[in-house]
Structure 1
Amino acid sequence: MVEAPVHVAADLHAHSTVSDGTDAPAELVEAAVRAGLEGLAITDHDSTAGWAEASAAAHRHGVVLIPGMELSTRVQFASVHVLAYLVDPDDEGLLAETERIRESRLTRAEKIVRRISADYDLTWDDVLAQTTDGATIGRPHIADALVARGHAATRSEAFAGILHWRSGYAQPHYAPDPLTGIRLIRAAGGVPVLAHPGTRGAEGVLTDDRLRRFADAGLFGLEVDHPENTEASKPRLRALAARYGLAVTGSSDYHGLGKANRIGEHTTPADVVARIVAEATGARPIVPAPAA
């Protein structure tokens, strides 16, 4: 069977309850339909567990789905995540690394909760109540538990207050460096794009030399059109993309009620989406058959 071509603009960064979004994978697809999107990527943190449910919903609703994940990586103390599109979900190297990251995230979250509980009424069960089975547990779930307990009004307020690193409750978690992440993604047949590289923190460690080395290792693109990139960073990122032959992508980083980001507020042009699909060898997009 000849695979149908993919030529749709898509929001290439969205999270479900498998990580820190508030929509189940099928609900994520339904949100995309309501927003009038033809294409969407599901990119939960360090997990492909939502792919099956999202794929079934994409078939039902006639949406092109790009299965992916957001791989946690780190430069020094700064989180620098890499979006991994169409990887082989059974690749042994990537599976081993994501399992290690998720285990470290879990241990980190438990330590943070123990620290917070010395000063606030908060338990680990409160955090678990904010998750679904198999979810990659992280700080957003702690934030939701703090909201449920009345210690913050919103997830954002919890991050700005109790969960801010200056509050003294922070703990690091294991993550590989981006160069390792890019190589793992390519080895798994996927296509790597640097997530929100113009956010405060990430912007400061992404030097020209680092980006050159990332490009040499197989980086496909930079997520420039993202609601949390600073406006000042975008001209530099576009210039670097042109210099190193990298694509420019756009995404919402939608988390449902977990963030103010609106699904589809930024999208990636159809020709760039088609290039991602063409380069991938690990998995294929979900392309519903045209209506008879």
Structure 2
Amino acid sequence: MRIDLHTHSNVSDGTQTPATLVAAAAAARLDVMALTDHDSTAGWAEALSAAKTHGVGLVPGMEISCKTARGVSVHLLCYLHDPLNAALLEEITKAKDARLSRAERMVERLSEDYPLNWDDVSAHVAPGATIGRPHIADALVAAGIVSDRNEAFANILTSHSRYFVSHYAPDPVLAVELVRAAGGVPVFAHPVASARGRVASPGTFHDMIDAGLLGLEVDHRDNPAQGREWLRTLARDNGLLTTGSSDYHGAGKPNLLGENVTAPEVLDLLVAAASGSEAYLP
């Protein structure tokens, strides 16, 4: 079986609708995929309908953007949680609202130096989507200011840029606790992706494990080889699941569906550990 547990649609910063994404997964000969849009479950229903049409298994999920007390970005994949859980939904809504105000402030700063306004960015955001820097990057590309998202993030949208604005994100330990309380399975996404910026300290890993972390996304293109070995050892020593995924974003990133996959026995354990919602596994 080919199982990819990390993909994004245009409900967050992917470039395909949930239905088109599922069709692409079928074309890539995936047996099972997870939809893990940033801070949103709005694509679940459409993805499920398409999964039934194409005969692709679907694990509904979400990717929660977190931040440690030291300002280190942590992404937490959340699978099969209750999408209506009040406590988790409140925290996610708070983060989404912060993302919106942050994007508006960044565009204000950018407009001082570039021919860019909020309408330009809004044109790249699907209705109800979780807005983020990738949408600003798409507007910069459309305006001819940069050639692609990678160039935008390497220069104009980097966290070291004068245009950058930080935003609220929950502490990863709190996020793990909320996911578990919502019946979901929390898995640390691309946890040693040092090329993206600072990575979490070993102490953060252990704090998250103590809070109920159940897995580590080990096989991901942004985790270096040495880091993957460290993650495998950490997982073995703490009884954690290890997953592999593409982090596919359509045309938004070079990542390909199924470039890393998860073992079927890991999927079985993940599904068995969840109680918030159900996977579709034809």
Which band: TM-score by shorter chain? over 0.9
Q: 1:122 to 1:203 in 2, by over 3 A?
A: closer
**What residue in structure 1 maps to residue 9 of structure 2?**
16
Paired position in structure 1 for 2:24: 31
Structure-2 change in CA distance of 1:201 and 1:182 (3 Å): farther
Name the CA distance, whole Å, in 2 between partners of 1:159 and 1:206: 21
1:193 to 173, 187, 192: 187
Match among 176, 179, 182 for residue 170 of structure 2: 176
Note if contact 1:46-1:71 (Cα within 8 Å) is conserved in structure 2.
yes
Letter in 1 for 2:252: G
Task: Confirm or deny that 1:235 pairs with 2:235.
Answer: no
Q: Is 2:9–2:17's contact at 8 Å kept on the other side of the alignment?
A: yes
User: Hey, what's the Cα distance between the residues in 1 that align with 2:279 and 2:162?
Assistant: 43
Q: What pairs with 1:1-292 in structure 2 (closer than 5 Å)?
A: 8-75=1-68, 76-200=70-194, 204-288=198-282
TM-score by length of 1: 0.94
- Indicate conservation of the 8 Å contact 1:143/1:155, yes or no: yes
SS of residue paired to 1:72: strand
Contact 1:80-1:202 within 8 A present in 2 as well = no
For structure 2, the 5+ residue unaligned runs are none
What is the letter of the counterpart of residue 186 of structure 2? Answer: P
How far apart are residue 232 of structure 1 and its match? 2.6
Structure 1: distance between partners of 2:202 and 2:177 = 19
Instruction: State the TM-score, normalizing by the size of structure 2.
Output: 0.97
Q: How far has the Cα of 1:9 moved from its partner?
A: 4.1
Return 103-112 or 198-207, whichever deviates more: 198-207
Between the two proteins, what is the percent identity of the paired residues?
A: 53
Runs of 4+ displaced beyond 2 Å:
201-210
How far apart are the structure 2 equivalents of 1:270 and 1:137? Answer: 33
Shift of 1:188: 0.5
**Aligned partner of 1:16: which letter?**
S
Provide the aligned length of Structure 1 versus Structure 2.
281
